[in-house]
Structure 1
Amino acid sequence: MCLILLAFRHHPEYPLVVTANRDEFHARPAAPVAFWPDAPQVAGGRDLEAGGTWLGITREGRFAAVTNVREPRATPPPQPASRGELVSRYLTGSEHPAGFLARLPETATRYRGFNLLAGDLRNLHYFSNRGGGTAPLGPGIHGLSNHRLNTPWPKVTGGCAALAVALERAGGAAPLLESLLALLADETVAPDAHLPDTGVGADRERLLSPRFIRGSDYGTRSSTALVVTGSGEVWLRERRFGPDGEIRGEELLRFPLRPGYPAAPPPV
């Protein structure tokens, strides 16, 4: 996952809105978004190589997502664990998000660099094993790519601005989903003066700078739009892509959260 934009307790009708692009090598197998046979309370895609996921939500309102940290010069740990297992472990558990993330430093060196979001409709927390520790997210719009939370990369700042506009114009969950997928499709390349320097070279920085990455070997594999309504209904839509941005399929899950889910307080 290379771009996550979210509005947490920001909109009076939608306590959680998430829109995200997963960028990955096209050869890596993945399953479409669905409820998992071995954990039927979890809805999300699945990495068929390592078994984890990049983003998911449960019928109880637990939500988690992960992005990699771009660090081409870093030495990986021996036999690194899959970062997607962190999302799966949180979604299939019952621990409070703050407690779950507080224990991560004990095992964080097993993983390459990552950013993890974990929470529910009342509490949402962030952790990175590349500095910054654990932090709660306040109400508002937030963006995350392959550096720390709210780092002002062009795709993050532009994406957050586009998300704010989509929320202002929201005319119901279904049209909002369409707007979220549309803003993820932006292929604008950032000006050189605004490109980050992550050690991959200027040409690679340009290639990776749009929200949507079109490539033959590597690129955006899926775009996900998630809307949770104030009444506790979840709308989860995923659009999948093959090499060079070819659309490969789309899924829509719509389901109510179970009674007793942690309802969000009013927006601040």
Structure 2
Amino acid sequence: MTRFDAWLRPTPPPQTEPPLDAAGRRALWFEVTVVLLVTFGLSGLSGILSLVEDALAPGGLADQTVALNASRSEYGWIDLGRQLLGIVKLCAWAALGLYLLWRSGLGPAKIGLGRPRPRPDLLPGVGLAALIGLPGLALYLIANAVGANLTVLPSTIEEHWWRLPALLLWAFANSGAEEVLVVAYLISRLRRLGWTENSSLLASSLLRGSYHLYQGLGGGIGNVVMGLVLGRYWQRTNRLWPLIIAHWLIDAVAFVGYTALRGHVSWLP
């Protein structure tokens, strides 16, 4: 077996809890369903509807635009308040997943959210960001060119003194909520329900892709691939910080870089 083949094989944690009985399985399925319906599962259904709506609209997908971060009021202080409320909502989603895992015996340290360390967390996070971010940008440009993706505007927030910190906070909230809920929470719960590592990884990745379909097929497919890479990394290492760091770097560079370069380079919309 080559080192690459070994990396593709997950390393599931040892089973320390007794198998669930029928009542326990129903209760856990109910919990997962409710959590997804109030978080990314509902966003996934909305993403599918958005893609269908955009496909039915006159013109191609590439002729339409979608802003990832937009102003939410013409009044600066109300806009700031609504931006912060959206950030707090995502942080609350992450906290919900962490709380439910902790109640079941999986505290932060057991899912790889203990004290962050430079060598096992920061360096792999930077590496994962480069591994995913650069091909992801290429995939977006190709998908947009062939009409399979909307034109994505990372930020259209009006110029305010708080715009830069708000974008950085949005990047952190996105990364924390997605990696905690879609990777650590969902895969852990599906493991408990008896799913294989590969099946739970696929479910997690498809969920990630679904709530990005509002960007187009390219956004959905690109995020499925991102989910496969990040999810497998977590399954192999049980370290969640590298995923959060990588995701934060990708979003922060996209949000802040777009804001800084828009109007100064010809290839940005």
Bucket of the pairwise TM-score, normalised by the shorter protein: under 0.3
- RCO greater where, 1 or 2, for CA within 8 Å and sep 6 or more? 2
TM-score between both structures, scaled by the size of structure 2:
0.25
Quick check: which one's strand share is greater? 1
Which structure is higher in helix share?
A: 2
TM-score by length of 1: 0.25
Q: Which has the larger radius of gyration?
A: 2
